[in-house]
Amino acid sequence: MTNPSNSTIPRIDESDAAQVTRWTREFDVTDEQLSQAIAKVGDKAADVEMYLKGSRSSTNADAAQDAEKAK
């Protein structure tokens, strides 16, 4: 089995303003949120996306609690 080339893995270059703009729009986050995610998980776009999605998701328990509050 061969390993995929690292050059095919999308990475986010924080020093490139155009890339920061592109990725903040794609992930619907602020520059600061993107920067924090990169600091936490690295610059691979897929890792950053999963981190950001996880930070915005809630558990079923949270959803049930919110539903109870809405009654």
Tell me the pLDDT band of 67, cut-offs 50, 70 and 90: low
* Residue 71 falls inside a structural domain: no
Torsion of CA 38, 41, 44, 50, to 10 degrees: -100
Instruction: Give the three-class secondary structure for 66.
Output: helix
Domains: count for the chain = 1
Is 52 inside any structural domain?
Answer: yes
pLDDT for 12:
97
- Bridge partners of 34, per DSSP, are none
* 6 domain residue, yes or no: no
Provide the residue range defining the domain that includes 28: 11-57
- The whole model's pTM is what? 0.69
Residues in the chain, total? 71
Cβ distance 43 to 12 under 8 Å?
yes
Q: Is residue 65 part of a domain?
A: no
